[in-house]
Structure 1
Amino acid sequence: MTKLDLAQFRYLTFDVVGTLIDFEGGIITSLGEIAAEASTAIDGEQALSLYRAARYAADADRFPDDLVRVYDIIAPPLGLPRQAALGERFRDSAARWKAFPDSAAAMARLARRYKLIAMTNARRWALDHFERELGSPFYATFTVDDTGAEKPDPAFFTQVFEFVERDGGSRSEILHVAQSQYHDIGISRQLGITNCWIERRHDKQGYGGTIEPASFTKPDFHFHSMAELADAVNHVPAT
C-alpha cells in the first residue's frame, strides 16, 4: 500500500466484469446447467482455463457476443453437446450473471463521495443488465460500443480522460479500480493513473478466466474486495 490519500480523488473508474460482476461464477453456473442436462459434470477451474484460451484468440468477437464462438470451442473438451442453440444460451446467460455479494452495497457507499464511472469491454446490452444488478450506481458509463476499443488499448482510457476533463476534472483525480492485471492495472500504471487492485481471486491459484499479464504490476492500492475499499474510504475524513 502506498501513502496516497483516498481523499484526493473525485472520480473512481471501474472495470465491471470480474471486479463488480462475478463473471467466473456466471460462466461456471451456465456451463454447469448445460452439463447437468447432458447428465455430466464440469470442473470449474478447467472450464475457466479453456474459456481463457478460447476467449483471447485472434478472431475473437465483442464480449459477451463472443461466448457463442467460445462455447463451440470449449464444449468438446468439457464433454458438452456442441450445438449452436447452446452457444447462444451461453451468451445470453450474461444477462443473469450476479454481482459479487459486496459489490452493490460498496458502490452505493462510494457513490456518496465520488463520481463513479464504468469502463467495460462488454457491449452496451450486457452493461444494461450489469447496471441493474449493481443498483445503477454510475455517474457515466463507457462500453466497447462507445469507445470502439477494448482495454488495455490506451484509446479506451483516453476517451474516459477526455470526459473527465470536460466534466471539470483531471487525471490526477482519478482512481482506477479493477481486478484484471492485464486489462487494467498494468495499462493504468503506464498511463500515469493511480490504480486500485481488487484481488478477487486472492484465495485461488492462477488467473482463472482472465488472461495472465506479461508481468505483474504492483498496485497503488490493494484490497481483496470492494467492501474493503469502501471501508477504507469510510476512514478518510471528508474534504
Structure 2
Amino acid sequence: MAKPFKDFKYLTFDVVGTLIDFESGLKDSLSMIAAETGVMIDEEAALTLYRQARYEPDVEPFPDDLVRVYLRIAPELGLPAERRYGESLRDAAKSWKGFPDSAEAMARLAKRYRLIAMTNAQRWAFECFSKEIGDPFFAGFTTDDTGTEKPDPAFFEEVFKFVEAEGNSRNDILHVAQSQYHDIGISRKLGLTNCWIQRRHDQNGYGATIEPERFTEPDYHFTSMAALADAVDQTIAA
C-alpha cells in the first residue's frame, strides 16, 4: 500500500514535461521554422530526432542545448542548418506553456504541501516556467544549482539535504513526474514514494523523453495534474 497523501509534507516535481508542455513547444517552434522556410515536417519524427540528439555525449545545459540539437537534427528534417534558427528554438523556451491543468492543480496542492521543483532546466528557463504556472514553488532546484541532471542520484541528494535542514526526511516527500527514465525509476531506487503523471497516455511511445531500460510501476498513477489534485482533495477531506 502506498503511503497516504496526508502523511507527506513535500511534493517534489519534475517541471518540463510534467507541468510545462515542452513537446508542444518544440513542435510549434520547429513548425514555425518549417513554415518560414517552405518545408513540411513530421512533428512526431521531430520529437524522435530530438530525443536521440538530446542524449548524445556532447550535450550542453538545457535549454541552451537546443541550439546544438537544432543544428544536429535540421538536415534530417529538411530544415536549414543555420544557428539563428537554433537560437530561436532555444529562446522560444521562455514562452512555453503549461499544460491546461498545471496552474490550477499546483495552486490547490500548494495549500496542503511545500512544493519543490526539481528540473533539468537552467535557472533562467525555470524562472519562466514557474511564472507561467503561477510561481507555486516553496523552493526550486535546477541543473545550475546541482551541477548535474536527473536521473543522477546526486540531484536528489541536494533536495534531501534541503529537506533535512528543515528537520524532515525523504520519507516526507512524494515525488511527482512524467518521466519514467529521469524520475520514476530513480526515485524508487532512492526510497521515495512516487507519482507518475502519464501525460502521453493517449499517445504511443515516449515522445521526446528517453525510454527507460525497464518500466517502474509507480506508487500513484494519474494521467493529469488535475486528477492528482482531485485525489488529494478527496482523500484528505474524507
CA distance in 2, matches of 1:167, 1:133: 28
Deviations 1:147-205 (A, max 9, x none): 00100000000010010011122111100000000000000000000000000000000
Matches within 5 A, 1:130-141: 130-141=129-140
**Which segments of structure 1 move beyond 6 Å, counting only runs of 4 or more?**
none
Residue 107 (structure 2) aligns with: 108
Residue 19 (structure 2) aligns with: 20
CA distance in 1, matches of 2:45, 2:195: 28
**Post-superposition shift, 1:120?**
0.3
Deviations 1:52-105 (A, max 9, x none): 000000110010000000000111111111101111111111001000000000
Residue 196 (structure 2) aligns with: 197
SS at match of 1:204: coil
Structure 2 residues without counterparts, runs of 5 or longer: none
SS at match of 1:237: helix
Q: Which amino acid aligns with 2:45?
A: Q
Residue 82 (structure 1) aligns with: 81
**Post-superposition shift, 1:237?**
2.5
Residue 225 (structure 2) aligns with: 226
Residue 173 (structure 1) aligns with: 172
Matched, 1:30 2:29: yes
Q: Which amino acid aligns with 1:95?
A: K
Residue 97 (structure 1) aligns with: 96
Give the direction of change, closer, same or farther, for the CA distance of 1:3–1:185 in structure 2 (3 Å limit): closer
RMSD over aligned CA atoms reads 1.1
CA distance in 2, matches of 1:197, 1:169: 23
Contact 1:198 1:226 in 2 (8 A): yes
Deviations 1:193-229 (A, max 9, x none): 0000000000000000000001000000000000000
Deviates more, 1:192-201 or 1:2-11: 2-11
Residue 156 (structure 1) aligns with: 155
Q: Which amino acid aligns with 2:107?
A: A
Contact 2:5 2:236 in 1 (8 A): no
Q: Which amino acid aligns with 1:84?
A: R
Matches within 5 A, 1:39-50: 39-50=38-49
**Please, what TM-score do these two structures have when normalized by structure 2?**
0.98
Structure 1 residues without counterparts, runs of 5 or longer: none
**Post-superposition shift, 1:236?**
2.0
**Please, what TM-score do these two structures have when normalized by structure 1?**
0.98
Residue 186 (structure 1) aligns with: 185
CA distance in 1, matches of 2:104, 2:77: 36
Contact 1:7 1:238 in 2 (8 A): no
SS at match of 1:195: strand
CA distance in 2, matches of 1:200, 1:96: 20
Residue 123 (structure 2) aligns with: 124
Residue 71 (structure 2) aligns with: 72
Overall identity of the aligned pairs, in %: 66
Deviates more, 1:115-124 or 1:33-42: 33-42
SS at match of 2:235: coil
